[in-house]
Amino acid sequence: MPRITHVNGRYLSHRDAMVHVEDRGYQLADGVYEVIAIYNGRLIDNDDHMMRLDRSLSELRIDWPVNQRALVPIMEETIRRNNVRHGKLYLQITRGVAPRDHAFPKAPKSSLVVYASPIKWPGRESAKSGQSVITRPDIRWLRRDIKSVSLLPNVLGKQEAIDAGADDTWFVDSKGYVTEGTASNAWIVTKDGELVTRPTNEDILAGITRKTLLRLIAEQKLKLVERPFTVDEAKQAKEAFFTSTTALLRPAVKIDDTVIGNGEPGEISCRLIDDYYDYMERESDGAEQ
């Protein structure tokens, strides 16, 4: 089945889906994006993703390319045309096409691209396999709360992890505190069983999976505190893990050369993986099979 992509009001063959050479997203990274999980044919946490998208657009003063209410049917139609049952939806909005200039164009027309890709989500037990991360200085810009398409430091961090034989990089600020991963939020579990993750502000992206997990943690009445933690504290933690739309929740059993806990995914991490899969199944309950 050929892949279909939505580009500015048209559904096109994926290989023919193109944007103009002077699209500001292509030339200036002047745009934002969202990645949304598709489970049993349904978008997971879509309302939260749309709220974050609205905020990112507002912070960069980019207009919505279509009415907000019209966007969800476009996304759902893209999923339908690609027959994606399990996968991810990528959505990108840029300031549009204009002669190259740092200043905003006077009458911009925002550009919209939407496509859906199949993913074979790991089974619960596979998701509980241990991951490794390395730590590196955070060299990104200071508005990480905006989900901008400007991701070069993230790309370099991810490649550095791969080159080191690790799964991801955790960025570290100038004070020695972990900010986040290249595409994920970072968590630890202290030896007292307290879950710790950095609070959301301009230092990190407010992850949607993170937001959902906070609700699940509250339901389980687990101990939680939102505060920064250092690399040294992470290495001495009982457990560590990271969350994102595509990773869901993955245990980190090694940070740099330090084994975390006993080197196996921890009890709390594994319990939360089960809780999150239960949540996705509830959210997609009744979807067409």
Residues 196-230: b if buried by 16+ CB within 10 A, e if exposed: bbbebeebbbbbbbbbbbbebbeeeebeeeeebbe
Q: Locate the DSSP E strands across 121-269.
A: 131-137, 168-172, 178-181, 185-189, 195-197, 224-226, 239-244, 248-255, 258-259
Which is catalytic among the residues 88, 128, 147, 238? Answer: 147
Q: How many CB atoms lie within 10 A of CB 180?
A: 25
- Packed helices 208-219 and 46-60: angle between N→C axes, nearest 10 degrees: 130
Q: Is 109 a catalytic residue?
A: no
3-state DSSP call for residue 231? helix
Q: What does the alpha-carbon distance between residue 230 and residue 153 come to, in Å, rounded to a whole number?
A: 21
What is the amino acid identity at position 36? I
Backbone angles phi, psi at 112, to 5 degrees: -130, 130
User: Encoding tokens for residue 82?
Assistant: 């690609």
Backbone angles phi, psi at 243, to 5 degrees: -130, 145
Instruction: Give the residue numbers annotated as catalytic, written as ranges.
Output: 147
